[in-house]
Amino acid sequence: MPEVRLIGAAGDQLGIVPTYEAQTQARNAGLDLVEISPTARPPVCRIMDYGKYRYDQSKKEKQNKRSTAATKVKEVQLHPSVGEHDYDVKLRNLKKFLGEGHRVKVALFFRGRENAHKELGFVLMNRVLADIREEGVVEQAPKLMGRNIQMVLNPNPKTRQAAKTAPAG
């Protein structure tokens, strides 16, 4: 590659220059000559501090990992014969998880003779949906899987935005 299209340290176009001249300019600036687009004709190179660039990239990747790891899938387990107080406790936990921005899997388990009345499970799941319609949205509707009914809920983006913008206190 006898010549390259050169981009300066400030991002300005320096035009097409011989490769040795681009290397000289980079060395004089105390920076590195980095090939950005090798397939272009002529290849595109940029004068930059490559060590600093790699450092910034790793910081961005770590920040992205941190933000994606914050959303976990929490699980709330129910039975069709759940008492009123137990239901309220489970519902409070469900709302808390959704308020924190977590996805929540709601699992309803049938035991013994409860298997004969699967419709009661769907009634309970619909009650849960009605009670959390402000805090969450359905990602996966209630679905019968063997002896369980499962559904997945996501936090409602509208209420999360309102919670972020509301003044604390």
pLDDT band of 164, cuts 50, 70, 90? low
- What integer is the mean pLDDT of 55-60? 94
The tokens describing 41, both together, are 């004709």
- What integer is the mean pLDDT of 12-36? 93
Q: Residue type for 95, please?
A: K
Whether residue 80 is preceded by a cis peptide bond, meaning omega within 30 degrees of 0, is no
pLDDT band of 168, cuts 50, 70, 90? low
Judged against a pLDDT cut of 70, whether residue 160 lies above it is answered with no
Tell me the pLDDT tens digit for each residue of 88-127.
999 999 999 998 888 999 999 999 888 888 899 999 999 9
Tell me the percentage of the chain whose pLDDT exceeds 90. 64
Query: Model's pTM, two decimal places?
Result: 0.56
Question: How far from 125 is each of 3, 135, 150, CA to CA, in Å?
Answer: 68, 15, 9
> What mean pLDDT value characterizes the chain?
88
- What integer is the mean pLDDT of 58-85? 85
Q: Provide the Cα torsion 93, 99, 103, 107; round to 10°.
A: 20
What b-and-e string marks burial along 112-130, b requiring 16 or more CB atoms within 10 Å of the CB? Answer: eebeeeeeebbebbeebbe
Nearest-angstrom CA–CA distance, 58 and 53? 9
**Coil, helix or strand for 131?**
helix
- Tokens 């996805």, residue? 103
Judged against a pLDDT cut of 70, whether residue 169 lies above it is answered with no
Q: According to the model, what pLDDT value does residue 83 have?
A: 92
Q: According to the model, what pLDDT value does residue 166 have?
A: 58
Among 5, 15, 8, which residue's Cα sits nearest to residue 40?
Answer: 5
Residue 102 DSSP one-character state: -
Q: List, in sequence order, every residue forming a beta bridge with 104; answer none if it has no partner.
A: 74, 153
Nearest-angstrom CA–CA distance, 118 and 55? 56
Domain 73-165 has CATH 3.40.50.2300: no
Domain 3-67 has CATH 3.10.20.80: yes
Q: According to the model, what pLDDT value does residue 1 have?
A: 60
Q: According to the model, what pLDDT value does residue 116 have?
A: 87
Q: Where are the domains of the chain?
A: 3-67, 73-165
Tell me the pLDDT tens digit for each residue of 40-57.
999 999 999 999 999 999
